[in-house]
Amino acid sequence: RVITETAELIQGQAQALAPTGDGHLRSSIEIRYYNRGLSAEIIVGAAYAIYVEYGTGIYSSTGNGRRTPWVYWSEKLNRYVYTRGMKPQPYWQPAIEAGSRHFERELGRLGA
């Protein structure tokens, strides 16, 4: 029960905190259960998920972003786009932290 609750809490929090955009990021957050429900894995399938979480370019929260602006062609906008990067929009780490607190609390109630 605790595994399922925690996995669903993490998935729900991550989906709620993820930026809306086209909805692909939110819909790519899935749970996989193993060992008859005794293990769970929460997966973020969108290829760009890490860039949303940590930012890019000068805004990268890891400090490893590109320091110079760049230009790229946007198929969506049908034009060139000048950018310095994207600010972080954390959705994953806050969800993991909420799940961790829930898991620890529930295990404490069970006396584990």
Q: Please give the chain's pLDDT, 112 residues, in tens.
A: 899 999 999 999 999 999 988 799 999 999 999 999 899 999 999 999 999 999 999 999 988 889 999 999 999 999 999 999 999 999 999 999 999 999 999 989 888 6
Please report the sign of the dihedral spanned by the C-alpha atoms of residue 4, residue 10, residue 16, residue 18.
negative
**pTM, rounded to two decimals:** 0.85
β-bridge partners, 82: 71
CA distance 110 to 85: 46
Query: 9 CB contacts (<8 Å, ≥6 apart)?
Result: 95, 98, 99, 102
pLDDT at 112: 64
CA distance 33 to 2: 13
